[in-house]
Amino acid sequence: MNSKKMKPSSEPDRISTLPHAVLVLIISFLPFKDCIATSILSERWRYLYLHTMNVAFKESEFLNGMYSDRAARVSFASYMSEFVSRFEGEIINTFEIHLCNPVGLVACIQHLIRFAASKQVKKLVLDFSDPSWRSTDVASELDVAIKLPACVYRLKTLESLYIYGCAFDPSRFTNPERLRRLYIGWISLQKLESLLSKCRLLKTLSIRYCWDLDIETLAGRIEELVIEYCDFPRMACSFVLPILDIFKYSGYIMCLDFERVNKMVHDVEFDFGVEPEYDEPDAATKAQGEIVAKLLSDFRSATIITVCPYTLQVIQDNPEFMLRGVEVEHLVLKTKLHPKELMVWSLLRDLSYRGIDPRTHWHQNISYRCLNRTVTTVQLLNFTGGFHQMEVLSYLVKTRPWRVHVITAVDLCVAKGLREDQMRVARAGAAMLRRINKQVVVEVHNDCDCLSVFNGGFRPI
């Protein structure tokens, strides 16, 4: 058999024949690292990446875990500086820097930020937080190395600003009229109200791990508000947010006064997991229970309410405040299935509670009205196939002669980080549920969160 050597085609590929502007649009949709890699495709593509409209410098992609290697970090800084010096594009839509502990690289970082501002950037991401930080107690003791350059305060094109571990003065912004999304974290945050009063188009506000917050009233046309583990010296904050649609709060229990807020929000979440657990209630926990119960009552018309295990415990002392006239469609209880947490079920409209022994309770002839009428799908997050989970799930899927069985599906989202042997236990648990009731569809899923549960975003495994 004769073999002939293949000759390379002299005809260019179709993509390479597209106009320059179209090619720039194409590579701008690629992740930045992949965008750079296109330079090896052909001579036409060699310098095309220098026109991309989206730039993202992420140390996790370039340093390969060598965060403590001083020489590697200096080399990364030199690479960033060289890229912007060779950049040939006219504008930049997105510019990102992700670099923890930028001590010694301040001049380089400041130059990069000024470069982004000169290109009329629309989305600016400055993340200098350290993955090792776990609380504001640690971060607040450290000096902030990077301060926001003056040119950013004057920027008129900014639509999204993400600023973590970078000091800035909210009162200095002069042209934030286009700002729609603002994410702030890991800094001392004061005078925020002066900035918010100028941001008439702001729709999303996220404040994470900030301290010294002096804000008294948070007002505006904000649709999504997230506050995570922040320190409020006054331990109080008022809200005037008439079109709020998503509200999530994580941190210590404090006075959250919703003066004028859309009560028919889509998604509400309260996580008070930082509060210390207790065995017996006292005056302080009873006062906290009243605050939390009132918060839940304020949002009784929400579509989804998610609460933490501490909430389930602390509201037991204040049932008169709890869920009066509730209209919630999805009540997500983050629970460890501990008996003292399950006591709160007596406050729900279609359940009753008489005190349980978790080892025997689910084997009794007990029927709940909601299981006979409306509950058709069971969804469990952080599924491991453990004893207590299987006891409850077995009760729910098992057919009983004294009740009408309306449950048709069980969705189990496995806990993240399970080893292979633990995954086998989870799969075995799911298989057991299928054997108990072959009419119920039992599926195991991975990488889900509360929102994906209700939005159908599961990925079966």
pLDDT band at 69 (very low <50, low <70, confident <90, very high): confident
Reported pTM: 0.76
Please state at what angle helix 420-436 crosses helix 387-397, rounded to 10 degrees.
Answer: 20
Q: What is the structure's pLDDT at 108?
A: 96
Q: Is the dihedral of CA 41, 47, 53, 55 positive or negative?
A: positive
Tell me the per-residue pLDDT of 335-354, one tens digit each, with 9 for 90 and over.
Answer: 765 655 555 555 454 443 44
Query: Which of 196-210, 270-284, 396-410 is predicted with the least confidence, judged by mean pLDDT?
Result: 396-410
452 pLDDT above the threshold of 50:
no
372 pLDDT above the threshold of 90:
no
Do the beta carbons of residue 158 and residue 124 sit within 8 Å? Answer: yes
Do the beta carbons of residue 88 and residue 51 sit within 8 Å? Answer: yes
Q: What is the structure's pLDDT at 65?
A: 59
Q: How would DSSP label each residue in 86-105?
A: H---S--SEEEEE-S--TT-
Q: Mean pLDDT of all residues in the chain? A: 84
Mean pLDDT within 119-123: 97
Q: What is the structure's pLDDT at 403?
A: 59
Domains in the chain, start-ordered, CATH in brackets?
53-207 (no CATH), 367-461 (3.50.50)
Q: How would DSSP label each residue in 199-241?
A: -TT--EEEEES-B----SEEESS-SEEEEES---TTSEEEEEE
Strands 236-241 and 255-261: parallel
Do the beta carbons of residue 378 and residue 393 sit within 8 Å? Answer: yes
Of 123, 172, 122, the C-alpha closest to 147 is: 172
Measured CA angle at 40 (ends 36, 45), to 5 deg: 75
Mean pLDDT within 403-425: 82
Lateral strand order in the sheet of 409-414 = 377-383, 409-414, 441-445
Q: What is the structure's pLDDT at 169?
A: 96
